[in-house]
Structure 1
Amino acid sequence: MATNLEKKDTDLFTVIRERQSIRSYDPNWQISEQEIKEMIGEAVFAPSSSNLQPWRFLVIQDPALKEKLLPIANNQKMVVEASATIVLLGDTEAYKQADKIYKSAIEAGLPEEYVPRVKEIYSKLSPEAIRGIALVDGGLVAMQLMLVAKARGYDTVPMGGFSAEKLIEEFNIPANYVPVMLIPVGKAAAPGFPKTRLTVDEVTFWNQIK
């Protein structure tokens, strides 16, 4: 059983260009729990709104739970073939941990009055606004996680094709957690589709939208 792939000595720009969305994985390739923890530990250096870090990670490695996830993910085989599928969630009550989050920042010089102000602002936001923040911050950490995985020689695919309602029900997801996406991670069994992109000129406006 393959495991412990060595980190690649690869620069950021190469990682960005080589990362693909992989839809077929070697089911015999296993990534250790320790290395998954390391990858998440690197990913969470991503920025977040007010540094509240609302991302939460449910790592599915158990074969029986992968099978349970399969119909929720519209029977997309990646979730059972990959070494693990990371269920990325956004905590809509992350602001309640502001004291814990800001403790070290205050010790480093952050004004103490910043904490109650943040908690007050977030506690008054609408559920839709809070959800939107959790989804945006989830996207930031997801991209960082996929780049971290690629830098270590692994492959991923961001998945939005799943039933959030069934996921919440079958995996007993707390009400304050918003499903963001599924991210299978493992070793590719086949390459992804050729990567093509619109040109910069096609997607960029300067000073005004024409």
Structure 2
Amino acid sequence: MDIKEAILTRRSVKHYDPEHQMTAEEVNMLMEHAILSPTAFNLQHWRFVNVEDNALRQAIREASYGQAQVTDASMLLILCADLNAWEKDPQRYWRHAPKEVQDFMLPAIEGYYTNHHQGQRDECFRSAGIAAGTIMLMAKGMGYDSCPMDGFDFDKVARLINLPHDHVIVMMITIGKKLQDARPRSGQLDLEEVFFTNTFPEQTK
């Protein structure tokens, strides 16, 4: 499947075959491509929790208001991010770069993130969001469907997965073999309503 077809056919599927299992090789292929997603300053601050334990899945389903996709999908992936990745041995993110690049980037990282808590959080969400798009398109290319989720109790799920105190949960993604097609697109806006040239149009009163 080419990238255009994957974009056109990717939908948020909520009904999965609970008997289907992804192989370890498929999971690794999916995630090896996910971590090629771009991140600010190359911090790679996303962290991914693949929930395989059935009892834990059931507990997360209860924290997700009973949504069956949490337990029925072949893969339940929780996308998290490390808010403080920027200060945890940051030279490792640039270890293969020329020295002059390292000498510029490492102080730049420190200068941008120090005492910039909103920036830390914003970049985590941006980076994890980019990774989520990569994951869903890669899954589609592999013959799987997916659904991004934020319909759950974030605090409960954080406790269930033992989320570190300096991490945040961004979203969950379910991945698997669909049993039902997604509903037809319900109200896609026309391109001219969301895509502008140079500036926003003048607002009329």
Question: Match for 2:197: what amino acid?
Answer: W
2:120 to 102, 123, 130: 130
Between 1:20-29 and 1:44-53, the stretch displaced more is 44-53
Could you tell me whether the CA contact under 8 Å between 2:56 and 2:160 is conserved in 1? Answer: no
Counterpart in 1 of 2:11?
A: 20
Deviations 1:53-104 (A, max 9, x none): 1110000122111101111112111010001100000110111242111101
1:192 to 182, 188, 196: 182
Q: CA RMSD in A?
A: 1.5
Output aligned runs, 1:43-192, within 5 Å.
Answer: 43-95=34-86, 96-106=88-98, 110-126=101-117, 128-192=118-182
Could you tell me whether the CA contact under 8 Å between 2:45 and 2:83 is conserved in 1? Answer: yes
Between 1:58-67 and 1:15-24, the stretch displaced more is 58-67
Q: Secondary structure at the match of 1:58?
A: strand
Q: Secondary structure at the match of 1:112?
A: helix
Q: Determine the C-alpha separation between the residues in 2 that align with 1:82 and 1:43.
A: 19
Q: CA deviation at 1:134?
A: 0.6
Deviations 1:113-168 (A, max 9, x none): 32133133213312x32111111111000011000000000110000111111111
Q: Determine the C-alpha separation between the residues in 1 that align with 2:89 and 2:131.
A: 18
- How many residues in Structure 1 have an aligned counterpart in Structure 2? 199
State the percentage of identical aligned residues. 30
Q: Runs ≥4 in structure 1, deviation > 4 angstroms?
A: none
Q: Secondary structure at the match of 1:85?
A: strand
Gaps of 5+ in 2: none
Q: CA deviation at 1:16?
A: 0.4
Q: Under a length normalisation based on structure 1, what TM-score does the superposition of the two structures give? A: 0.89
Gaps of 5+ in 1: 1-9
Counterpart in 1 of 2:30?
A: 39
Q: Determine the C-alpha separation between the residues in 1 that align with 2:103 and 2:162.
A: 36
Q: CA deviation at 1:193?
A: 1.3
